[in-house]
Chain A
Amino acid sequence: MDETTLYRKRKRPAEAFLLSAVYGAASVSVMLLCGMIGYLFFRGAGAVSWRFLTTVTDVAKKTSGIAGNMINTLYIAALTLLAAIPLGVGAAVYLSEYAKPGKLVNLIVFTTETLAGIPSVLFGLFGMGFFGETLGLGYSLLTGALTLALMVLPLIVRNTQEALRAVPEGYRSGALGLGASRFYMIRTVLLPAAMPGILTGVLLSVGRIVGESAALLFTAGSDGHLPKPGGSAFGTIRSLGEKMLESGGTLAVELYLQVQNGRYETAFGIGCVLIAAAFGLNLLVKLAAVRLRNRA
């Protein structure tokens, strides 16, 4: 056989092996997801009912409900974002619009990365000690939210920074050239243009907050009751205000505790709710990304 002819496909067994490894790995990733989600719904869908979602657990009637945990989750998410968004966006604006490159910026960037690398259980430890004991906030939604605010801060800083970087330089010089002050330019031009990116950071933060358990276990506690009905608008506000300083377990914390107590059915039910939330958030992140791309 002529060795130099081009008219013969050479066989490459090593390649077939590598290629199947690549396909195998990709299928493992997909099957893991499908398997886990499928199993979760298979075990948990039965537990999710209207009563499960709208009542609290009643030991006497032997019913379980997660309404209180859902409220707590939303409450903590709102409080966390209230603290983290201004701080995070402010830090990002400072880094990309005011600070001159140098040691200080490097230090801030480095600490942001460090903060991002700290595991949630250490945030929990710090939050419990510092906010809970030193500041005397105890086991409360506020302690939990402040702890989580530190945890999600890097997410918001980074995403905002990236969004600001994507705003064309012409926007800035254009606005400044018209005589606008820097702060005015930031408020009216930069932040609106960066909004989808900031939103991405916020949504990713919500994802972390909703899914977090280790950092909340010893900061926000595990109470699953609903805030006391206020009766009036004022009463409701007061009751919510009081709730802020009371213990409250989020869905993820409740799930963790249910598993520890061996009540898997309820745990799977909560799991279904969490996964639905994760999917919803993922979808929103994608929409935000599309909008960011169309803007930039």
Chain B
Amino acid sequence: MEKSRISVRNLNLYYGTNHALKDVSLEIRGSAVTALIGPSGCGKSSFLRCINRMNDFVEGVRVEGKVLLDGENLYDRRVDATLLRKKVGMVFQRPNPFPMSIYDNIVYGPRLHGIRARQELDGIVEETLREAALFGEVKDRLKKSALALSGGQQQRLCIARALAVRPEVLLMDEPTSALDPVSTRKVEELIRNLKKKYTVVIVTHNMQQAARVCDDTAFFLAGELVESGPGDVLFSRPKDRRTREYIAGRFG
């Protein structure tokens, strides 16, 4: 097994008095897709948001334990959280393009981080749209509003937008739950391609999807990490009774 890219050690998360993640430890491999599965409310999305510290913005949140990215603890006091989020990109459950042109959506991130040169920005736009398999569909209307795109196209635009800041890790929070089956298939195909360059962590409630796209899988239940391992192993020979029941469709 390759060396892990992200290691989570004894992570506890509280929303006020609600203990949302209980002593979670997990190793996440680089250049692979790790799927987090579990019934809704199990803490998988909260876990994901610990990796780019998006939980910081939730009022009354408290995090204990360590999340190491390339050996650096994200919750160290010295960490520049905005830089972290540049390194660890995120795609959300609902497509959330800015109400601007397609072009401006993509260059939003690069501009934030100080890239101004027109040519460079143009290059980034084309490159990331190609990476997100969207370039062909939108190349003639880059200056048109992103809100005119279909839901599936919007989500791929959001992926392209996330890639435009050159992240190393990409977090995806149920990225296809608001999409139709055709768009879902396109996005899944895209995810499988992305792992060549990026470390991908994806939350999904759809086990077929997890099986289709992932290398590794981690199963969460009621704030605890029940079981993790290579996807094929976890799906075919789960060790824990609860994992077995979940996969068999007994709950969630």
Contacts and interface: CB of A to CB of B under 8 A. Distances in A.
A7 B72 contact: yes
Contacts of A10: 80, 82-83
Nearest to A11: B80
Interface string B195-208: 00000000000000
Contacts of B80: 6-10
B82 A7 contact: no
Interface in B74-129: 74, 76, 78-80, 82-84, 87
Interface residues of B, number: 11
Interface string A1-17: 00011111110000000
Interface of A: 4-10
B142 interface: no
Nearest to B113: A10
12 contacts: A6-B69, A6-B76, A6-B78, A6-B79, A6-B84, A7-B72, A7-B76, A7-B78, A7-B79, A7-B80, A8-B78, A8-B80
Nearest to A9: B80
A10 B79 CA distance: 10
Contacts of A6: 69, 72, 74, 76, 78-80, 83-84, 87
Contacts of B76: 6-7
A5 B80 CA distance: 9
* Chain A interface, >50% SS class: loop
Interface of B: 69, 72, 74, 76, 78-80, 82-84, 87
In the A-B complex, the 3 residue pairs with the smallest Cβ-Cβ separation, listed nearest first, are A7-B78, A6-B79, A9-B80
Given A7-B78, A10-B83, 15 more contacts: A5-B72, A6-B69, A6-B72, A6-B74, A6-B78, A6-B79, A6-B83, A6-B87, A7-B72, A7-B76, A7-B80, A8-B78, A8-B80, A9-B78, A10-B80
A9 B80 CA distance: 5
A5 B78 CA distance: 10
Contacts of B78: 6-9
B87 to A, nearest CB: 7
Contacts of B87: 4, 6
Contacts of A5: 72
A156 to B, nearest CB: 35
A167 to B, nearest CB: 31
Contacts of A7: 72, 76, 78-80
Nearest to A5: B72
Nearest to B72: A6
A10 B87 CA distance: 14
Nearest to B80: A9
A5 B84 CA distance: 9
Contacts of A4: 87
Nearest to A15: B82
Nearest to B79: A6
A7 B71 CA distance: 11
